[in-house]
């Protein structure tokens, strides 16, 4: 299933993602939120290069049409790729970023990690290299479907219908699972980094803060918390080492926002927000008005557990459990539609079986077997 955004062309947030330094999304000394980078915050440069100049510094493969953005870390151009015969987005580092060793290192790491992954729900890097003047550049697919942040703003009550939200979460989690399979921690999962192609397929983007599970954190300065505050895991808030489970916490916050239309923690003050991430339980989610079933609330609460070891450990596990829960819910709905009401494990049937000396576990197995048989029978009859 895809999620097209009508009348939305090149997303300003997508342009900003291409332009900004991976270090822009971070919290410094904790005194203010620094995550709200936007296209309006772009700096002016007196030495901006034009499309003609950049064309001269690239191979004939790329025909640069126009500059579509500028920022503190780079310029972004729309150009035509003669080899793939499609329009692409080209990012070139600014002179300042090129002369900053840390910016170049982060830029190169982002390219390396992204190129190592081939998945329909992860942004695709087409090419990278250096210009004739030795300036690094990267060519990415041009995503023109807007981003999840924009989708939520346009959606009624800023919410996505529940079934569509689950399908979207499955695609997003599968993209993150592709990172986790490579041992890569994203560290900055948020709506602005989920961008859609023109067909509405969600893509995980911005690996600028990503780290390998086997890598030290020498690029992270002591006392520096990296991430986007509203979506940071408790361990990120405390500037502690992170793991794949840190992404799961951020994914749970994202999931909450998609189905409820707002973030679970909305404090503007950094210290209050940090306290909420570290200590406050996830607000109630299973409300009738939102059409959210109780099983989803339990699922999200586990994903957003404060202790990393209490969460799902990888995005693959997150996705697998979500798929199973959705299948179980659909099966129950089909049974009810056929006039066969679901009997819960602590209901009359299981109580009867346990009273006859059959354990809770075995009674549950009997019940599941009965449901499976009935479901198969219904399918055969249909």
Is 188 an annotated catalytic residue? yes
Query: Both tokens of residue 80?
Result: 């035509």
Q: How many CA atoms lie within 13 A of 179 on its CB side?
A: 35
Q: Which residues lie below 8 Å from residue 22, measured CB to CB, with a gap of 6+?
A: 106, 107, 109, 110, 206, 207, 208, 209
DSSP string, 263-312: -S---SSHHHHHHHHHHSPPPP---GGGT--HHHHHHHHHHT-SSGGGS-
* Distance in angstroms (rounded) separating the CA atoms of residues 98 and 375: 61
Of the candidates 349, 65, 2, the residue with the CA atom closest to the CA atom of residue 202: 2
The one catalytic residue among 16, 24, 188, 247: 188
Residue where the block lists tokens 């893509």: 203
Between CA 236 and CA 249, with CA 72 as vertex, the angle to 5 degrees is 20
In SS3 terms, 151-213 reads as HHHHCHHHCCCHHHHHHHHHHHHHHHHHHHHCCEECCCCCHHHEEECCCCCEEECCCCCCEEC
* Distance in angstroms (rounded) separating the CA atoms of residues 28 and 41: 18
* Distance in angstroms (rounded) separating the CA atoms of residues 41 and 35: 12
- The residues assigned a catalytic role are 188
């Amino acid at each position: 299933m895809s999620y097209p955004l009508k009348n939305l062309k090149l997303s300003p947030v997508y342009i900003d993602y291409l332009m900004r330094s991976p270090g822009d999304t971070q919290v410094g000394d904790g005194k203010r939120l620094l995550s709200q980078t936007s296209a309006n915050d772009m700096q002016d440069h007196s030495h901006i290069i034009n499309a003609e100049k950049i064309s001269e510094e690239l191979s004939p493969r790329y025909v640069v049409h126009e500059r579509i953005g500028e920022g503190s870390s780079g310029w972004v151009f729309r150009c035509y790729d003669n080899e793939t015969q499609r329009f692409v987005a080209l990012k070139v580092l600014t002179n300042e970023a090129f002369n900053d060793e840390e910016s170049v290192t982060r830029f190169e790491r982002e390219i390396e990690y992204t190129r190592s992954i081939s998945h329909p729900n992860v942004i695709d890097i087409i090419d990278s290299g250096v210009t004739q003047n030795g300036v690094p550049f990267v060519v990415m697919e041009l995503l023109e479907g807007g981003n999840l942040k924009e989708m939520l703003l346009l959606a009624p009550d800023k919410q996505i219908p529940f079934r569509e939200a689950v399908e979207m979460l499955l695609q997003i989690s599968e993209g993150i699972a592709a990172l986790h399979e490579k041992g890569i921690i994203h560290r900055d999962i948020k709506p602005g980094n989920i961008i859609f192609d023109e067909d509405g397929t969600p893509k995980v983007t911005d690996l600028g803060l990503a780290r390998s599970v086997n890598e030290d954190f020498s690029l992270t300065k002591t006392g520096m918390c990296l991430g986007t505050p509203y979506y940071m895991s408790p361990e990120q808030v405390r500037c502690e080492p992170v793991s794949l489970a840190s992404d799961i916490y951020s994914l749970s916050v994202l999931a909450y926002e998609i189905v409820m239309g707002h973030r679970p923690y909305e404090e503007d003050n950094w210290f209050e927000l940090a306290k909420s991430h570290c200590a406050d339980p996830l607000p109630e989610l299973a409300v009738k008005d939102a059409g959210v079933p109780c099983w989803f609330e339990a699922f999200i609460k586990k994903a957003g557990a404060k202790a990393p070891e209490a969460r799902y450990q990888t995005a693959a596990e997150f996705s697998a459990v979500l798929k199973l829960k959705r299948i179980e819910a659909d099966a129950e709905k089909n049974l009810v539609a056929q006039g066969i009401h679901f009997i819960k494990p602590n209901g009359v049937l299981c109580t009867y079986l346990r009273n006859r000396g059959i354990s809770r576990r075995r009674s549950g197995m009997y019940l599941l077997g009965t449901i499976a048989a009935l479901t198969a029978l219904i399918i055969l009859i249909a």
